[in-house]
């Protein structure tokens, strides 16, 4: 059994989407069980419409709901120990659940996760990792929302954790890793990115294949299994890709419906358009993972629907089944051994001077 602890109040539409998604996920994965946390007046009446889900779920009333516009510090003050978000994380900490899932406030979730679960040994800041559809299949991109202005060591941490996620979710024995940069030449980009690249190049890890710097258009091409950046660039890239996908879909609808010949053409090509729509559907890649914590935490997009939420649950399920935490600890243990990475970083900074 895989036990999922859910903040039922998170997201733009709250329990209605959360419960619908959990029910869809249960059909796909009958071995799932759920712990639901939220306001009883909002959750329990809706839960009655899902008898299958209710049969494998427990519900706990929570007095506090973290709002989407709450600042992380404010959410911690008012929601620690009392909110549905905190209680879901606490279930993982206590070993009562394998995964905590929320579609709520990202900053609050990161702050509460770090405070409740703590980061793994050697990890200063967690990273939010997302699956990214590419021409070759999927890639792991991180950080897309947790750590802005990451330093060189944190970027290497992200590479280690992203590689472990690729091994767990994409079934790649030695994933290729690239650092997102403004060019592929070694002299380009911010100093921290260049130093991180030097560390990864000289370390030559057995479980990672460092391929150097990659540019923005390489993400969609699938040039690397793992693309590493900080949250500032990563989040902008993610939102740009989502907006571009919606723009393309809107242009295609307009073009196909503008003339009679366009509508006739659509009838002949509707199978191809259906496949394209599925590939561009952001719900298929919903579910980002907060890496670097002593527990698995999944962040769902706040505006998704039941299908998208079910996919986020599926990500958590796969992380448990494929031993994500043990893979990360194994990789980080090699990375931090004997302090040799620190020596490489100091030498690289000295060379830059």
- The per-residue pLDDT for 329 is 86
pLDDT of residue 73: 87
Instruction: Give pLDDT, residue 168.
Output: 83
- Annotate 285-344 with DSSP letters as a single string: G--EEEESBSSEEEE--TT--HHHHHHHHHHHHHHHHTTHHHHHHHHHHHHTGGGHHHHH
The count of other CB atoms within 10 Å of the CB of residue 227 is 28
Whether residue 213 contacts residue 184, with contact meaning beta carbons closer than 8 Å, is answered with yes
* pLDDT score for 47: 95
A 10 A CB-CB count for 171 gives: 9
265 vs 258, 262, 276, 278, 298, CA distance in Å? 11, 5, 15, 19, 41
CA count, 13 A, side-chain hemisphere, 163 = 27
40: phi > 0 → left, psi -120 to 50 → alpha, else beta; which? alpha
CB 284 within 8 A of CB 138: no
Q: What is the model's pLDDT at position 188?
A: 83
Distance, in Å, from the CA atom of 312 to the CA atom of 252, rounded to the nearest integer, reads 28
| CA neighbours closer than 13 Å in the CB half-sphere of residue 217 | 2
User: 38 is written with which tokens?
Assistant: 């939220």
pLDDT confidence of residue 248 = 74
Q: What is the DSSP letter of 353?
A: -
Please, what sign has the CA dihedral across residues 103, 283, 12, 130?
positive
Domains and CATH numbers, the chain: 1-117+284-321 (3.40.718.10), 127-280+323-353 (3.40.718.10)
Name 60's bridge partners: 37
Q: How far apart are CA 318 and CA 140, in angstroms?
A: 14
Strands 137-142 and 176-180: unpaired
Per-residue pLDDT tens digits of the chain, which is 353 residues long: 899 999 999 888 889 999 999 999 999 999 999 999 999 999 999 999 999 999 999 999 999 999 888 888 888 888 788 899 999 999 999 999 999 999 999 889 999 999 999 999 888 888 999 888 888 888 999 989 888 888 998 999 999 999 989 988 888 889 999 999 998 887 788 889 999 998 888 887 888 899 999 999 899 899 999 999 998 988 888 888 878 777 777 777 777 777 777 677 666 666 666 666 666 666 777 889 999 999 999 999 888 899 999 999 999 999 999 888 888 888 777 766 645 555 555 555 555 54
In the structure encoding, which two tokens stand for residue 13, read together?
């539409």
């Amino acid at each position: 059994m895989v036990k999922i602890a859910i903040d039922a109040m998170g997201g733009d539409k709250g329990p209605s989407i959360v419960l619908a998604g959990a029910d869809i996920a249960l059909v796909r994965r009958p071995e799932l069980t759920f712990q639901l946390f939220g306001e009883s007046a909002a959750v329990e009446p809706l839960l009655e419409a899902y008898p299958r889900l209710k049969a494998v779920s427990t519900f706990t009333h929570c007095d506090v709901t973290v709002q989407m516009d709450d600042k992380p510090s404010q959410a911690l003050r008012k929601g620690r120990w009392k909110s549905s978000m905190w209680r879901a994380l606490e279930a993982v900490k206590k070993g009562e659940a394998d995964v905590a899932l929320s579609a709520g406030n990202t900053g609050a979730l990161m702050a509460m996760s770090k405070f409740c679960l703590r980061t793994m040994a050697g990890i200063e800041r967690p990273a939010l990792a997302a699956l990214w559809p590419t021409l070759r299949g999927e890639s792991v991109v991180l950080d897309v929302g947790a750590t802005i202005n990451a330093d060189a060591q944190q970027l290497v941490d992200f590479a280690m954790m992203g590689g472990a996620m690729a091994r767990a979710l994409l079934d790649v024995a030695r994933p290729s890793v690239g650092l997102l940069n403004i060019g592929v030449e070694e002299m380009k980009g911010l100093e921290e990115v260049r130093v991180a690249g030097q560390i990864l190049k000289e370390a030559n890890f057995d479980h990672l294949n460092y391929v150097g710097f990659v540019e923005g258009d390489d993400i969609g091409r699938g040039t690397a299994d793992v693309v590493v950046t900080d949250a500032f660039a990563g989040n902008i890239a993610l939102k740009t890709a989502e907006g571009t996908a919606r723009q393309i879909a809107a242009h295609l609808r307009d073009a196909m419906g503008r003339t009679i010949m366009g509508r006739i053409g659509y009838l002949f090509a509707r199978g191809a358009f259906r496949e394209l729509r599925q590939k561009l559907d952001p719900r298929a890649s919903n579910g980002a993972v907060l890496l670097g914590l002593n527990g698995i935490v999944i962040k769902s997009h706040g505006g998704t629907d039941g299908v998208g939420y079910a996919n986020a649950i599926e990500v958590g399920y796969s992380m448990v089944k494929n031993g994500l935490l043990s893979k990360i600890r194994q990789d980080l243990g090699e990375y931090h051994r004997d302090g040799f990475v620190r020596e490489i970083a100091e030498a690289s900074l000295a060379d830059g001077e």
